[in-house]
Amino acid sequence: MELKENAFQRWGEQRHQSWLVRRMHLDVPLTLALIALSMTGLAMLYSAGNQDLDLVYRQILRVGLAFSAMLVIAQIPPDQLKRWSPWLAGLGIALLIAVEVAGDVGKGAQRWLDLGFFRFQPSEIMKLALPMLLAWYLADRKLPPSLKHLAASALLIAIPVTLIVKQPDLGTSILIASSGVFVIFLAGISWRLIIFLSTVFAACLPLAWLNMHDYQKTRVLTFLNPESDPLNSGYHIIQSKIAIGSGGFYGKGFLQGTQSHLEFLPERSTDFIFAAFAEELGLIGGLLLLALYLFIVTRGLVIATQAQDSYTRLLAGSLTLTFFVYVFVNIGMVSGLLPVVGLPLPLMSYGGTSMVTIMAAFGVLMSIHTHRKMIRN
Amino acid sequence: MPRTGSLTDDLRESEQFRRRTIVAFLVVILMVTGIVARLVYLQVVNHHHFTTQADQNRVTVVPLAPTRGLIFDRRGRVLAENLPSFTLELVPERVIDLDATINELGRYVDISQNNIQRFYDQLQRKRRHDSIAIRSHLTEEEVARFAVNRHRFPGVEINARLLRSYPYGPLAVHTIGYVGQINEKEASKVNQTNYSATSYIGKIGIEKYYETLLHGQIGYQRVETNAQGRVIEVLDSIAPKPGSNLHLTIDAELQRIAEAILGDQRGAIVAIEPATGNLLSMVSKPSYDPNLFVQGIDHATFNALNNSPDHPLFNRILRGTYPPGSTIKPIIALAALEYNKIDANTSVFCPGWYSLEGDNHRYRDWKRWGHGHTDMKKAVAESCDVFFYDIAFRLGIDHMHEYMTKFGFGSTTKVDISDELSGIMPSRQWKRDARGLPWFPGETLITGIGQGFMTATPLQLARATAAIANRGTLVTPRVVRAISENGEEATTINLIDTVSEPIILKNENHWQAVVDSMKEVVHGAHGTARKIATNSPFTIAGKTGTAQVFGIKQDENYDADDLDKRLHDHALFIGFAPIENPQIAVAVIVENGGSGSSTAAPIAYQVLHHYLTTLADYGT
């Protein structure tokens, strides 16, 4: 079979990989970029955490765990993943319901499930399980999908998203909804339908507003005018903009950020770590970091286009684009482009759960890329 | 891989997917561009704005209070200084249970009932987040004891502060005054910026009058603070400029002696250098300890002082308005000489009383049986009232007012201490304005002997005496003769206008006549103050005075034994010495002290004597 080859597809193709890399099912460019990103994250954490080495050690453990997860998942062939997809999604939804019934309340939201030895958020499973479910559902149908299949897909998205919105966790539900929407988009839904649905969605926004929790409304209002409440909800975004803006072109220098080190910047080692980064390393640092993220996204899309069947294509594309949504929503929020939704910056923010999920997603990408059958010749 | 679709389907789907991916990638690029634009907007376009904001966040300007200027006496003794003191302070807002905390603090630091009372008094006046001292002058041991247990007392801290201290305590307190914590009214009057770190302000006396000089100029420190406001680093600072030191004309030793001479009696002594107006000592008794007021006085102590019948807080020197009695007779005599109503030889017969024509009211002489034939010198020396009734009648109130006013009566002396009163020099105009009544001839007579409406402060009397000593120069009294900056030599300056208009007489010889008559008071065989100067190494010109506190009815006798002590006459004496070359003029008043000759004159002599015999020590 002859596949049309072009530069875009050929890019990053490894023909002379060592035995070890091949056996480990790793994609070298992606792995290197992820390592670089994690290292940057650890360095920034060292600064933002006021040089607290304990904090860095704990994060190193998490990074190690996350990379291990990636490595393990990369070994699983995509066919296997495809078979597990509905079951994993079913488990995820069951756990979401369990959280709804018996979950722990943390920071005003019911997100956690306490399994005795560790607490975890079932919504994290859905970040992987929902795109897998949709890709599984659509891959074996004729694409572009029919209206019937689209309606079924919409329902499959709506169930977990509704459960997560109810927790309430706006950030995660946006991510999960996007991951599902990306699958549908990549499956080839017609542009006319896209325009029609977008219009309907826009019309429904006021309805969504009415159903929002007060703190979510406050976040949106604060986003629209941070100065309206400079001491409370507006404080985060004001201080964050000051941190980024005062960093300037070259930044104040590593470990030299006043906004972060003098503790004006809240959540400086978690959700707002980009502000601390941009303060110390300036526009130059910010552009390099964005370039690194863009490289990862591009590589992910290349993997998707090189995938050999619908399931892997749709899954790889959706996971990659969801990763980008992560980055965009976080930096957009920190820089005042978007309302404050509590999403970490992938591989930079301090914290474990989301990082494991993200790296698991990259494990899926690597599995997809490295389990291709040699059918070219 | 098992697929149901055909190969062309698969190719088509793959192609479609690739197109969609490219669209998604373009959208990604677009969004990244949006973020880049946002970063450029924040970090390049608005960089300056945000840098300013970041600096405003981290940099706090802390005002630094200037050190208050010191007050020295004439010979460099420190009368007011600033001592470092450890104070135990509470921030009410941060203390959960004030009573319990104070009670518990008592186990480590000695806290008296007074301290607690004073604390609660201040609590009412201060804001919740102000730090309020409960104890000052903690010992090293108390500081250590508290330091060990400080974790148990949130909102309680020990601060090292400079506290105003008056090492001589009550000495010259009415002149020096004291500082106290600024109240809202005072805060609204001062330059808010300059006082933003200051907690004390001059309340009275020199401390008040020279507040601006003593206070100094505020300094600033720019510090880097974290979000909790804790100081991380001092960036730079402008040192505060300490207040100027004041060098007084007062001599602490003479002051001490004068205060001791007056002893427990109520009254005032003012000693002035006639040529310069420099006030050598100013006594007002009883007195009080200014140190009580520095940290805020407690209610009980204040009420005890304020309600005492002896009025220790009352500054008798410049707010005590007394009938001057016979002490004004030399000036009345001078006016009579000037208006040719008498000459040195004019004699009046004194039968012991005086009556106006067509009025059978008898104006009595202090000497029941009269002084007989009396000329001016004898009238002053023996303080014959009838002689002065006669010349007062002949002069009239207008001429008397004219001359008394020349000597400064009826108006403030403009001394450099706050809150002086002017006393009263009555006139027809004054009586119409103040009482709505015409002037009666009888009032002219009693004004002639310094009774009736007329009142004067001891300071006015001393100043008028100095004018006689100067033979006509009415000086403005002053207590500050020089200022100095920290570590620099004192420079003598005239902070106030010290010389007023000279008193010009129609006949300059009249000065000598008046001075001679005053000399006769002390050195004459029958002078009312002859007893004080039997061994005097210097000549003194003086005049006694015995001022009635209340009116005696026509046919009653003044009998001290029958009267309440507070209705006794005030004893007065004015004088200067040496006559030829006056170095010092004094005015003494002893409230309810009896007669001027027996009570006030000896006190005045001791002050003159001490000053003149140790004159060499004083310099100028």
Closest Cβ opposite residue B5 in set A142, A258, A328 = A142
Query: What average pLDDT does range B258-268 have in this prediction?
Result: 93
- B332-353 burial: b if 16+ Cβ within 10 Å, else e: bbbbbbbbebbeeebebebebe
B208-254 pLDDT tens trace: 999 999 999 999 888 888 776 677 888 888 899 999 999 999 999 99
The 3 state secondary structure assigned to A149-205 is: HHHHHHHHHHHHHHHHHHCCCHHHHHHHHHHHHHHHHHCCCCHHHHHHHHHHHHHHH
Residues of A in contact with B49 (CB under 8 A): 245
CA distance B197 to chain A (A): 25
Residues of A in contact with B58 (CB under 8 A): 258-259, 262, 264
Tokens of A206: 């006021």
Given a contact cutoff of 8 angstroms between Cβ atoms, the answer to whether B386 and B370 are in contact is yes
Q: A344: which DSSP letter?
A: P
Given a contact cutoff of 8 angstroms between Cβ atoms, the answer to whether A249 and A278 are in contact is no
B56/A1: higher pLDDT: B56
- Compute the distance between CA of residue B411 and CA of residue B413 in angstroms, rounded to an integer: 7
Average pLDDT, chain B: 87
- The whole-number pLDDT of residue A351 equals 79
- The whole-number pLDDT of residue B453 equals 92
- Compute the distance between CA of residue A322 and CA of residue A346 in angstroms, rounded to an integer: 11
With bands split at pLDDT 50, 70 and 90, how would you rate the model's confidence at B94?
confident
Rounded (10°) angle between helices A78-102 and A310-334: 50
- The whole-number pLDDT of residue B148 equals 85
- The whole-number pLDDT of residue B560 equals 60
Closest Cβ opposite residue B57 in set A259, A298, A336 = A259
A333-348 pLDDT tens trace: 999 998 877 789 999 9
Contact A337 B224 (CB under 8 A): no
* A101-107: Cβ within 8 A, 24+ apart: A103/A167
Res B330 pLDDT > 60: yes
A209/B178: higher pLDDT: B178
Question: Which amino acid, residue A19?
Answer: W
CA distance A97 to chain B (A): 33
- The whole-number pLDDT of residue B498 equals 58
Nearest to B73 by CA among B246, B220, B196, B210: B246
Cα dihedral A309, A310, A311, A316 sign = positive
Contact A317 B17 (CB under 8 A): yes
Q: B249: which DSSP letter?
A: S
Most A CBs within 10 Å, among B29, B30, B43, to test the A interface: B43
- Compute the distance between CA of residue B576 and CA of residue B486 in angstroms, rounded to an integer: 37
- The whole-number pLDDT of residue B2 equals 45
Residues of B in contact with A317 (CB under 8 A): 17, 20-21, 24
Find all residues with CB under 8 Å of B27, minimum gap 6, and list them: none
Rounded percentage of chain A residues whose pLDDT exceeds 70: 86
Query: What average pLDDT does range A319-326 have in this prediction?
Result: 96
Rounded percentage of chain B residues whose pLDDT exceeds 70: 93
* B452 CB neighbour count, 10 Å cutoff: 18
- The whole-number pLDDT of residue A108 equals 55
Residue of A nearest to B13 (CA): A143
A122-139 pLDDT tens trace: 888 999 999 999 999 998
Find all residues with CB under 8 Å of A274, minimum gap 6, and list them: A244, A286, A289, A330, A331, A334, A335, A345, A348
Residues of A in contact with B17 (CB under 8 A): 186, 188, 304-305, 310, 313-314, 317
Res A305 pLDDT > 50: yes
- Compute the distance between CA of residue A194 and CA of residue A182 in angstroms, rounded to an integer: 12
- The whole-number pLDDT of residue B36 equals 96
Given a contact cutoff of 8 angstroms between Cβ atoms, the answer to whether B88 and B135 are in contact is yes
Question: Which amino acid, residue A204?
Answer: C
With bands split at pLDDT 50, 70 and 90, how would you rate the model's confidence at B119?
confident
Res A141 pLDDT > 90: no
B326 is annotated as an active-site residue:
yes
B580/A113: higher pLDDT: B580
Nearest to A295 by CA among A33, A35, A42, A88: A33
CA distance A218 to chain B (A): 23
Domain locations along chain A:
27-369
- CA dist B561 → A375, B265, B552, B558, B564 (Å): 138, 18, 14, 9, 8
Most A CBs within 10 Å, among B15, B22, B35, to test the A interface: B35
Q: Which helix (H) or strand (E) holds B132?
A: strand B132-135
Question: Which amino acid, residue A148?
Answer: K
The SS3 assignment for B192 reads coil
Tokens of B325: 């009695």
Query: What average pLDDT does range B544-561 have in this prediction?
Result: 67
Res A120 pLDDT > 90: no
- The whole-number pLDDT of residue B500 equals 66
Given a contact cutoff of 8 angstroms between Cβ atoms, the answer to whether A362 and A53 are in contact is no
Q: Which of A26-40, B257-271, B340-354, B544-558 has the lowest mean pLDDT?
A: B544-558
With bands split at pLDDT 50, 70 and 90, how would you rate the model's confidence at A79?
very high
Query: What average pLDDT does range B57-66 have in this prediction?
Result: 84
Res B430 pLDDT > 70: yes
B142-151 pLDDT tens trace: 888 888 888 8
- The whole-number pLDDT of residue B356 equals 84
Contact B227 A140 (CB under 8 A): no
Domain locations along chain B:
74-215, 252-294+318-617
Q: Does domain B252-294+318-617 have CATH number 3.40.50.360?
A: no
Is the peptide bond between B286 and the residue preceding it cis, with omega within 30 degrees of 0?
yes
Residues of B in contact with A297 (CB under 8 A): 25, 28
A–B CB contacts, 8 A cutoff, strictly below = 139
- The whole-number pLDDT of residue B1 equals 43
As to burial, measured by CB atoms within 10 angstroms (0-12 exposed, 13-18 middle, 19+ buried), residue B469 is: buried
CA angle B18, B19, B23 (to 5 degrees): 115
Closest Cβ opposite residue A246 in set B18, B20, B50 = B50
CA distance B56 to chain A (A): 11
CA distance A306 to chain B (A): 9
Query: What average pLDDT does range B313-321 have in this prediction?
Result: 92
Contact B47 A246 (CB under 8 A): yes
Contact B1 A188 (CB under 8 A): no
Residue of A nearest to B229 (CA): A262
- The whole-number pLDDT of residue A2 equals 43
- The whole-number pLDDT of residue B620 equals 45
B585/B163: higher pLDDT: B585
Tokens of B528: 């009312």
Residues of B in contact with A247 (CB under 8 A): 43
Residues of B in contact with A283 (CB under 8 A): 39-40, 43-44
Most A CBs within 10 Å, among B28, B36, B51, B56, to test the A interface: B28
- Compute the distance between CA of residue B459 and CA of residue B272 in angstroms, rounded to an integer: 9
- The whole-number pLDDT of residue B566 equals 73
Residue of B nearest to A291 (CA): B32
Q: A272: which DSSP letter?
A: T
B352-411 pLDDT tens trace: 889 888 888 888 888 888 888 999 999 999 999 999 999 999 999 999 999 999 999 999
- The whole-number pLDDT of residue B235 equals 86
- The whole-number pLDDT of residue A1 equals 39
- The whole-number pLDDT of residue A22 equals 76
- CA dist A299 → A82, A138, B124 (Å): 22, 24, 71
Cα–chain-centroid distance for residue A329? 9
* B interface with A, Cβ–Cβ below 8 Å: 1, 3-5, 7, 9, 13-14, 16-18, 20-21, 24-25, 28-29, 31-32, 34-36, 38-40, 42-44, 46-47, 49-51, 53-54, 57-58, 224-228, 232
Architecture of domain B74-215: Alpha-Beta Complex (3.90)
Residue of B nearest to A279 (CA): B43
Q: How many alpha carbons fall within 13 Å on the CB side of residue B91?
A: 11
B40/B162: higher pLDDT: B40
Contact A186 B18 (CB under 8 A): no
Contact B20 A314 (CB under 8 A): no
ipTM of this model? 0.91
With bands split at pLDDT 50, 70 and 90, how would you rate the model's confidence at A231?
low
Contact A309 B4 (CB under 8 A): no
Q: Given the residues B136, B281, B287, B326, select the one marked as catalytic.
A: B326
- The whole-number pLDDT of residue A3 equals 47
Residues of B in contact with A144 (CB under 8 A): 16
